Amino acid sequence: MTVASPDDVANIMYGRGTATVTADDAREFFEQYGPVKWTEEALGECIRLSPLLAVADHHPTSATAKWTRELLSRKCDLTCVSSLDALKHDDGGLREDVTLLMVYPRNDSEAFEVLKAFTGRRLIYVGEGPGGFCAEPRFFEELFLHWRVVQTIDLGPQLGGQEAFSKLYVLQRRESPRTK
């Protein structure tokens, strides 16, 4: 029996056509960007829509951690809270103009719960659509019912030159959160 090398696995997962991807290529990509690479246009739009609020995953290699670090290095007005509880119990209250930033949220209930707790009117969601690796179906149902897409930004080539399934979506709330 032949055992696949780490390079074989990386190439199977991320290589396309004549492009090959090594395990080192994949590791470097994920260390810098996490699962989805930003573009200058995407970061510029995030900065333009600041102040931003992100619920930061505790794992330093999460997409949110990678994107927020890059945005902070560019002097973006960005506040990170460590949990949904911190978002719910923000004693100072959120500024009315704050934009929620969600980058490649896990495929569990957290993204839905954060979205439901957020009282602002604008959201930047970076990730795949329904049925992809991001969030659970209830999150997308909430988006379809209460938010509208006002801008979509393509994230360009990703690891191995693949076109991204993920995009940056700017969404505006359709109604006041108090009328839900």
Q: What's the pLDDT band for 73 if we cut at 50, 70, 90?
A: very high
Residue 53 and residue 14 share a domain: no
Domain shared by 137 and 175, yes or no: yes
pTM score, two decimals?
0.84
Q: Do both 69 and 145 map to the same domain?
A: yes
pLDDT at 3 exceeding the cut of 60? yes
Whether residue 166 sits in one domain with residue 92: yes
Domain extent at residue 9: 1-33
Token pair belonging to 74: 């560019």
Alpha helices in 15-94 (DSSP H): 23-33, 40-48, 63-73, 84-88
Q: What is d(CA 5, CA 46) in angstroms, rounded to the nearest whole number?
A: 39
Q: Report pLDDT for 178.
A: 57
Do residues 64 and 125 share a domain? yes
Looking at the structure, tell me whether residues 15 and 41 fall in a common domain.
Answer: no
Instruction: Say yes or no: 3 and 59 in one domain.
Output: no
Rounded CA separation 178/63 (Å): 30
Residues 90, 149: one domain?
A: yes
Total domain count for the chain? 2
Cα(81)–Cα(180) distance, integer angstroms: 24
Q: Same domain for 68 and 12?
A: no
Q: What pLDDT, in 10s, does the model give residues 162-179?
A: 888 899 999 999 976 555
* Neighbour tally for 86: CB within 10 Å: 12
Q: Do 133 and 65 belong together in one domain? A: yes
pLDDT tens-digit readout, 95-115: 678 999 999 998 888 899 999
pLDDT per position as a tens digit, 19-48 = 678 889 889 998 999 889 999 999 999 999
What CATH number has the domain bearing residue 145?
A: 3.40.50
Q: 65 and 29 in one domain? A: no
Same-domain check for residues 10 and 77? no
CA distance 101 to 177: 17
pLDDT in tens, 109-153: 889 999 999 989 999 999 998 888 889 999 999 999 999 999 999
CA Rg value for the chain: 17
